[in-house]
Structure formats: structure tokens, C-alpha cells
Amino acid sequence: MRIRLPKGEGSGLDAVLVNTAGGIACGDRFAVEIEARSGATVSVATPAAEKVYRSDGPVAQLSVDLKLEAGARLDWLPQETILFDRARLRRTLTAEMPADACLTVFEAVVFGREARAERIAHGLFEDRWRVRRGGRLVYVDTMRLDGPIADLLRKPSVGKGARAFATLIHVAPDAETRLDSVRDWLSTTHGCDVAASAWNGLLAVRFCAMTIESLRNAALPFLLAFRGEPLPRVWLS
């Protein structure tokens, strides 16, 4: 993996994380550690969608560890992850931050390649998020789909046939106060089911769509409005 620091248009440092392998194959292990020191402002993105290839058995692993110091702002904004049929991925995201720091995380996942009308007949996707704020665990989320993923996603209680999903969390002193404005922005969204909640100093938004195009059409203008500054250039290339 490589890191690039292009000239950005935002208020802080833009970083682009590049997987020079071109994707994630069976049994691969990637570990990313990012530290935003006191007063720093940094956005981290990826240059394109991350592809997770078919596995003959071994599980690929991707861990992301985010650390923020006092007054820091960190935006973790990778582009979507695309799972191929029979892909097997276990992903974890952990964050440690003080009460006055600001963390925004956006992650999207797509099940199957749309151009090939690919169906995930079998696979594994496990996504575990843990956020600690001021030493206290404030956010826990685990998504696990194992087996016939396409069949599981058709269930009304799971995905109602959707294939593209995303989660945004915003952990900051102002998180709960932004809920009404966030719901106003999302009320004009079309082609994508979206819902937002706020509690205990954090805001969470879920996106659910039939295609990644529909999800991106909803998420990009929302991220622009929510962040109040341009997205990393790689998102628009």
C-alpha cells in the first residue's frame, strides 16, 4: 500500500491510500493505522473502488485503526468496496478519540459487479466497527453475511433486494444537534432508502440502494453539504 498527498481544496490535509495490488485476494491481510495529532485536520480517501476477489477458502482481512488527539478532525472516506461472487472478507474498524475531537466515517459496500449482473451465490462479509470516545465505548456495530448472500439480501428484514449499502457515523461535540438538518437534506433523496439517528454524542446515517449509482447519487451531495467543503478529488475523477 502507498500513501499520496495531493493538493486538496479543503481546510486540511488530503491523503489518498493506494492499494498497488489492485484489489484484495483470498488470504490477504491489510492493516491501516492513521493518527491525527492534536489540532490536525485530515481526510483520507481511496482513488477508486476496492475489489475483493473470489476466494477458494481463505478469508481476507482488512483492519483500520484510527486514533485522534485533542481537537483533531479525521474524515475516513474510502470509496466503495465491491465483493465478487465467493469473496470472503472480514473487516474491522476501530477508533480512539477524546471528547473534543471530530470523527466522520463513511463506508459503502456493493455485493456483486453490476456490469456483469453478478449474483453473490456464496461468500462471507463481516464488518465490525468499534468507537471509543473519552475512554468509553460509544459505538458498536457488526454486520455479518455468510453463505448465500444474494438470497439473504432478498429477505425484507435484511436488504429487501438491495445490493449497495453504506453507513456514515459522525462523532463530535455537535453531532446530535445536526440531526434535524441532516434529515432535511435526506428528505429530498430519490432512489435510495436513507435514515438518520443521533444519540450520546454521535450521528449515524444508513444508505440502502439497488445500485451503487443510486447510492452515490444520494451520498455525494449529502457529504458535500454535511462536511461543508469539497470532497477529495479522487471521489470525482
Q: What is the pLDDT of residues 106-165, one digit of tens each?
A: 999 999 998 888 989 999 999 999 999 999 999 999 999 999 999 999 999 898 999 999
Beta strands 73-77 and 102-111 are parallel
pLDDT of 23 over the 80 cut:
yes
Give dist(CA 24, CA 55) in Å, integer: 10
What is the count of structural domains for the chain? 1
Helix (H), strand (E), coil (C) string for the chain: CEEECCCCCCCCEEEEEECCCCCECCCCEEEEEEEECCCCEEEEECCCCEEECECCCCCEEEEEEEEECCCCEEEEECCCEEECCCEEEEEEEEEEECCCCEEEEEEEEEECCHHHCCCCCCEEEEEEEEEEECCEEEEEEEEEEEECHHHHHHCCCCCCCCCEEEEEEEECCCCHHHHHHHHHHHCCCCCCEEEEEEECCEEEEEEEECCHHHHHHHHHHHHHHHHCCCCCHHHHC
Asked if 104 and 70 count as a contact pair (C-beta separation under 8 A), the reply is no
Asked if 28 and 20 count as a contact pair (C-beta separation under 8 A), the reply is no
Place of cell 465505548: 137
Range of the domain at 142: 2-236
Q: What is the pLDDT of residues 74-111, one digit of tens each?
A: 999 999 999 999 999 999 999 999 999 999 999 999 99
pLDDT of 172 over the 90 cut:
yes
pTM listed for this prediction? 0.95
The mean pLDDT value of the chain amounts to 94
State percent of the chain over pLDDT 70. 100
